Amino acid sequence: MKVVALRCITCGSSYSPEELDYTCPRCGPRRGTLEVLYDYSKIRRGFTRESLKKRSQNYTIWRYLPILPVEEEGQRYIQPLRVGWTPLYRFEQLARKYGVRELYLKDDGVNPTASYKDRASALVVIKAQEKNKKIITCASTGNAASSLAGFAANTALTTIIFVPKSAPAAKLAQLLIYGAKVLAVEGSYDQAYDLCLEAAERYGWYNRSAAINPYLVEGKKTGALEIAEQLDWEVPDLVLVPVGDGSVISGIYKGFHDLLELGFIAGIPKIIGVQAEGASPIKRAFERYDGNEVIIEDQEAKTLADSIAVGKPRDIVKAVKYVSAAKGSFISVSDQEILRAIGELARRTGIFAEPAAAAAYAGFRALAEQGRLSKSDRVVIMITGSGLKDIAAAREAAEVKEPYTIGASLDEVERALKGLGLAP
């Protein structure tokens, strides 16, 4: 067995992976989230930078199979959909504009269902089948659910989804077309989450909801593994990550942590969490954290960035402890700054990001404005979801809201060109 134990992030108790599916019974579902532990010295023997180089046929998350929690028997459940090894684009003009040495954007909008969540769903549909589950469920602001539905499509699993009724239309359309059973809850994501948890317990469904399922962070760590390999094992100085429940950022830390344990890299980058001003309980907990207990104070979430509209974050303990271990920090951005970031990203890089993903870029701009970046910094920004997921927000973000409507004649073209200031 590769996975030697599941360890509670709060009390440190260890459990065997056969004994437990979700959280530490002593600390409960909120504080008792589990870390997946490996036998690193054993893995180190067969898994090296050189052995990775030889996997030149496999540019997906599965090139990192030796440090993913899938045992021999589970490998037959790996889906053909191509997940991960997303592009890490370098933008030189933008780096100059903001005064940093190097600027990279990791574009996870190109995953099969167009968000970072595919990394976790690809893994968890395997766990569900290893555990002989028939039904898998998930509460989600939209992306985790549509990703689960997509990765369950080619399996015998039935997918039952809890989303807030306000989820963007594109995410709902994805769910329905993949054939998931969709329960649109009249309430917030935080309410949908609690409802899903209760239903899963009552009916014995396998639960993919954020944080309580320890394998999700293992899927979400693959973004960090890729960044390190794409930069030839010279890790960046800063990685900016948008934060809702806190699982993606925990995954980014865990990925670098595993690479450090295995001797692939020399250190862990500073990890910067970016939250929306109207939904920033993890930022507040981080600022109060003194190395002892994480103080949790929930709030009512209010932001247009639906994927991070989380007032009761489920991976708050891990996120606070991990970012602290990475000597990182948290920053918050307003909805206005997020909208501005969507537009600037699209116009200057060609990357079209959904609001939560653009929040990470807005956080980068805010750091620059506050003079918190250094000329020698090498920065990576995680773009976690595609802009096509939320067209309404994009229309709001665009400087020009409407196209120029014309009649079907060259005279009309001429009139339009004048109007657009492009008169020949």
Ligand X SMILES: *Cc1c(COP(=O)(O)O)cnc(C)c1O
At residue 10, the 3 state secondary structure works out as coil
Residue 126 tokens read as 């395997």
Minimum CB separation of residue 69 from Zn ion in Å reads 20
Question: What residues contact residue 26 under an 8 Å CB cut-off, 6+ apart?
Answer: 8, 11, 13, 32
Residue 417 tokens read as 């060109």
Residue 102 tokens read as 């190097």
244 binds, among ligand X, Zn ion, none (CB under 5 to 8 A by kind): ligand X
Q: By rule CB under 6 A, what string of x and - marks binding of each residue 193-232 to ligand X?
A: -----------------x----------------------
| Total residues binding ligand X (CB under 6 A) | 20
Rule CB under 6 A: which of 296-315 touch ligand X? 307-308
Q: How far is CA 296 from CA 26, 80, 280, 300, in A?
A: 17, 40, 11, 13
Is residue 143 a contact residue for ligand X (CB under 6 A)? Answer: yes
Is residue 243 a contact residue for ligand X (CB under 6 A)? Answer: yes
Residue 139 tokens read as 């509460």
Nearest of 260, 252, 257, 262 to residue 226 by alpha carbon: 252
Taking the CA atoms of 171, 188, 158 and 60 in sequence, report the sign of the dihedral they define: positive
Please state, in angstroms and rounded to a whole number, the distance separating the CA atoms of residues 183 and 186. Answer: 9
Q: Which residue is nearest to ligand X (CB)?
A: 385
Place of tokens 């429940």: 245
Q: How does strand 378-383 pair with strand 102-107?
A: parallel
Is residue 335 a contact residue for ligand X (CB under 6 A)? Answer: no
Interface pick for ligand X out of 356, 362, 367, 394 (rule CB under 6 A): 356
26 binds, among Zn ion, ligand X, none (CB under 5 to 8 A by kind): Zn ion
Is residue 357 a contact residue for ligand X (CB under 6 A)? Answer: yes
Please state, in angstroms and rounded to a whole number, the distance separating the CA atoms of residues 139 and 312. Answer: 13
At residue 381, the 3 state secondary structure works out as strand
Is residue 385 a contact residue for ligand X (CB under 6 A)? Answer: yes
Minimum CB separation of residue 34 from ligand X in Å reads 16
Minimum CB separation of residue 35 from ligand X in Å reads 15
Q: By rule CB under 5 A, what string of x and - marks binding of each residue 7-36 to Zn ion?
A: -x-xx-x----------x-xx----x----
Of 8 and 152, the one with the shorter C-beta distance to Zn ion is 8
Of 32 and 109, the one with the shorter C-beta distance to ligand X is 109
8 binds, among ligand X, Zn ion, none (CB under 5 to 8 A by kind): Zn ion
266 binds, among ligand X, Zn ion, none (CB under 5 to 8 A by kind): none
Of 262 and 382, the one with the shorter C-beta distance to ligand X is 382
Interface pick for ligand X out of 384, 387, 393, 394 (rule CB under 6 A): 384
Is residue 148 a contact residue for Zn ion (CB under 5 A)? Answer: no
Rule CB under 5 A: which of 150-209 touch Zn ion? none
Q: Are 167 and 389 in contact (CB under 8 A)?
A: no
Minimum CB separation of residue 403 from ligand X in Å reads 27
Minimum CB separation of residue 245 from Zn ion in Å reads 19
E-only strand ranges, 319-406? 329-333, 378-383
Question: What residues contact residue 292 under an 8 Å CB cut-off, 6+ apart?
Answer: none
Q: How far is CA 116 from CA 5, 10, 148, 248, 385, in A?
A: 26, 26, 12, 8, 6
Of 169 and 295, the one with the shorter C-beta distance to Zn ion is 295
At residue 60, the 3 state secondary structure works out as coil
391 binds, among ligand X, Zn ion, none (CB under 5 to 8 A by kind): none
Q: Are 190 and 311 in contact (CB under 8 A)?
A: yes
Q: Are 213 and 128 in contact (CB under 8 A)?
A: no
CA quadruple 161, 162, 167, 171: dihedral, nearest 10:
-10
Minimum CB separation of residue 220 from ligand X in Å reads 7
Of 23 and 146, the one with the shorter C-beta distance to Zn ion is 23
Residues that bind ligand X in the complex, under the rule CB under 6 A:
115-117, 143, 210, 242-249, 307-308, 354, 356-357, 384-385
Which residue ranges make up the site for Zn ion (CB under 5 A)?
8, 10-11, 13, 24, 26-27, 32
